[in-house]
Amino acid sequence: MTKNGIAGQLLRVNLTTKKITNEQLPLEMFIDYLGGRGLGAFYLDKEVDPKIHGLSPENKLIFFNGPFSGTMVPGNNKINVAFKSPLTNTYSYSLCGGHFGPELKFAGYDGLIIEGKSEEPVYLWIDNDKVEIKSADKLWGQKIADTDHLIKEELNDQKIHVACIGPAGENQVNIACVTSDVFREFGRGGGGAVMGSKNLKAIAVRGSKDVEVADPEGLMELVAGLYPNFKKNPKAQIRRVEGTNELVRGINNAGFMCTKNFSEGTSEANKEFEGSLFREKVVYNDVSCYACPIACGKNSAIVSTKYGAVKLEGPEFETLGLLGTNCGLTNWEDVLHVSAICDALGLDSITAGGCVSLAMECFEKGILTLKDTNGLELSFGNGKAEAELLEMIAYKKGIGADLAEGPAYAAEKWGAPELAMHSKGMTFAVYDPRGAKGMALTYATSPKGAHHMVAPVFGGEMAAGNRFEEKGKETLVRNTQLNFAAVDSLGFCATCQNGFLRADQLKAFKLVTGYELTEEKMLFNAERIFNMERMYNVKNGFARKDDTLPKRFTEEPMAFGESKGQVVDLETLLDNYYAAMGWNNDGVPTEEKLQALGL
Ligand code: SF4
């Protein structure tokens, strides 16, 4: 049984030696590092040399829950995995909702570190205190849903939660993800490739232990008081109906929705994907993660003459944008089809979309010819060709093998580096930074490459009516980065922030752990986490030269729409941001800053 929300145990599995050990994990670690993301940064820094290759056996997959996982704290179910990324060569982390994290907690573990490399394909079976490394001979080569199904059948338990890789991960494709419960992903940075490099096909978990909290009555009272907040909150309510695709309308109308490899920021055709039409045309029911009061997840389905029946959970807004509008798709049948392919093969749909759109622009510009593409007509809007290219990426065939290394590698090889829309090797999410200057800073300074959730400030910028201004964005981005370092570590879902304010998060921390965490200490710890992440990259030679954006965003004014004429003044943004962070002008934390943070 856990005490004060914490299981107090870290499970360590060495796939080279097959040694399995339990390590004590005191509550103090959750006070100093808050939880998943913070503990991931701590252990990665301590145990993994920043200079190793991401696919080296010396790399580790460091999974950690936050202290609330498995309790009744609403909207708290995210488990984090930290690793050295084979895609970006940086520190990387990835969060996954659903049920996998809480199930690991029910099995009695706050965290799990996978190290070494098995000689043959294996999967890990965690059944409370019984932990086994089992043969994955029958699983290797299987797609995601089949892997999940076969494991449950072999272990004769449908309630097991499985995190696994598909063919993309097995083939060590740098944009492969780790998927839990068939549709929830540890998406970005290539964690699936790291898992594949270790010959680890899956982690299956079953837990039946209670999670004891310090003050159960107090927690019940707090939670009962929170539920009406979610019902009253308009953002939470629209997400309940339209999912994350409620964002399409606002972002497309504001002219910064990725369209045709970010060559445009809006399109009439994108309106087909507005949340209300998503709900009306393809959604058939709602899905939620563990202890979720909102249920923004959507099951969708479509039957078409082109592809027959397609059924999946999603697509989420970022998947829809990158696989859909950014590749010029204009209808739901194509979008659902390519989303389902990414799910089945275990590809990070955001980066995969960025790779396909790069190839499409190269094809339209004559940089790639039909000979290069093995006859694939890779024009924007060709959903069938997109589907084929995704398969080629996952199985490393033809130009798919180039994209499997990442968009920066492929574009360089094809002689068109300026067409890869990436920062530190990772492609952008939906928001064209020309339409929200804070997002430009978020992308450029993210420790893991161009990921939006490190500081998703676009909503605040739109509400404040200052999205085209560079001035003041250093403070907005800094504060949001620190807030997300905290809430990611604690395990909160971002959508559930709508209705769960910081004061209540701090109350929950006291009621679950018994420890009074002040806002000041929480933010101090968050700043330490963010600086640890930065320093991991600095030790590997990263600096201002790597905090970049493609020339498209800094030199090519947006051609039309509500963000027309905009470019990003990145150097001004960086100067102000580094000063706000207490870093030198090269983007390196100063000695004084590190000392003040106890690093
Ligand atoms: S709001 Fe959505 S992502 Fe967040 S916990 Fe609920 S279902 Fe999961």
User: Which atom of ligand 1 lies at the shortest distance from residue 293's CA?
Assistant: 6
Specify the pLDDT at position 127. Answer: 98
CB 491 within 8 A of CB 69: yes
Cβ(522) to ligand 1 under 6 A?
A: no
Q: Is the CB of 495 inside a 6 Å radius of any atom of ligand 1?
A: yes
Q: Which residues contact 524 (CB under 8 A, 6 or more apart)?
A: 597
Ligand 1 within 6 A of CB of 294? yes
- Nearest ligand 1 atom, CA 243: 2
Q: Is the CB of 238 under 6 A from ligand 1?
A: no
* CATH number for the domain whose boundaries are 234-426: 1.10.569.10
Q: What tokens appear for 311 in the block?
A: 């059924």
Atom of ligand 1 nearest to the CA of 77: 5
**For residue 2, what pLDDT is reported?**
55
Contact in structure between 180 and 203 (CB atoms under 8 Å):
no
Atom of ligand 1 lying closest to residue 98 CA: 8
From the alpha carbon of 239, which atom of ligand 1 is closest? 1
The one-letter amino acid at 433: P
* Distance from C-alpha of 289 to C-alpha of 281, rounded to nearest angstrom: 23
Task: Collect all residues with Cβ–Cβ distance below 8 Å to 187 and sequence separation of at least 6.
Answer: 94, 96, 177, 348, 349, 350
Q: Following CA atoms 272, 278, 279, 284 in sequence, which dihedral angle do they give, to the nearest 10 degrees?
A: 140
369: exposed, middle or buried (Cβ count in 10 Å: 0-12, 13-18, 19+): exposed
Q: How far is the CA of 292 from the centre of ligand 1 (A)?
A: 6
Which residue matches tokens 């990725």?
258
What is the CA(235)–ligand 1 centre distance, in A?
13
Res 1: pLDDT: 52
| CA–CA distance, 248 with 272 (Å, rounded to integer) | 9
Ligand 1 proximity of 295 Cβ (cutoff 6 Å): yes
Minimum CA distance residue for ligand 1 atom 8 = 289
d(CA 356, CA 360): 6
Give residue 316 CA to ligand 1 midpoint distance, Å: 11
Name residue, tokens 């909290």.
213
Ligand 1 and 288: CB distance under 6 A: yes
Taking the centre of ligand 1 as the mean of its atom positions, its distance from the CA of residue 368, in whole angstroms, is 40
In the CATH hierarchy, which top-level class contains the domain 435-498+518-596?
mainly alpha
**Rounded Cα distance, 315 and 355, in Å:** 18
Question: What CATH number belongs to 9-206?
Answer: 3.60.9.10
Q: Which residues contact 33 (CB under 8 A, 6 or more apart)?
A: 39, 41, 42, 489, 525, 529
Give the nearest ligand 1 atom to 290 CA. Answer: 5
290: CA distance to ligand 1 center in Å?
A: 8
First CA to last CA distance, the chain: 34
pLDDT at 539: 98
Amino acid 155: pLDDT: 98
E-only strand ranges, 149-296:
161-164, 178-180, 184-186, 200-206, 283-287
The atom of ligand 1 lying closest to the CA of 296 is 2
Q: What is the pLDDT along the chain (599 residues), one digit of tens a residue?
A: 557 999 999 999 999 999 999 999 999 999 999 999 999 999 999 999 999 999 999 999 999 999 999 999 999 999 999 999 999 999 999 999 999 999 999 999 999 999 999 999 999 999 999 999 999 999 999 999 999 999 999 999 999 999 999 999 999 999 999 999 999 999 999 999 999 999 999 999 999 999 999 999 999 999 999 999 999 999 999 999 999 999 999 999 999 999 999 999 999 999 999 999 999 999 999 999 999 999 999 999 999 999 999 999 999 999 999 999 999 999 999 999 999 999 999 999 999 999 999 999 999 999 999 999 999 999 999 999 999 999 999 999 999 999 999 999 999 999 999 999 999 999 999 999 999 999 999 999 999 999 999 999 999 999 999 999 999 999 999 999 999 999 999 999 999 988 899 999 999 999 999 999 999 999 999 999 999 999 999 999 999 999 999 999 999 999 999 999 999 999 999 999 999 999 999 999 999 999 999 99
Q: Where are the domains of the chain?
A: 9-206, 234-426, 435-498+518-596
Region of residue 499 (left: phi > 0; alpha: psi -120 to 50; beta: else): left
Distance from residue 181's CA to the centre of ligand 1 (Å): 14
Q: Which of 227, 496, 497, 498 to mutate to test the pocket of ligand 1 (most atoms within 8 A of CB)?
A: 496
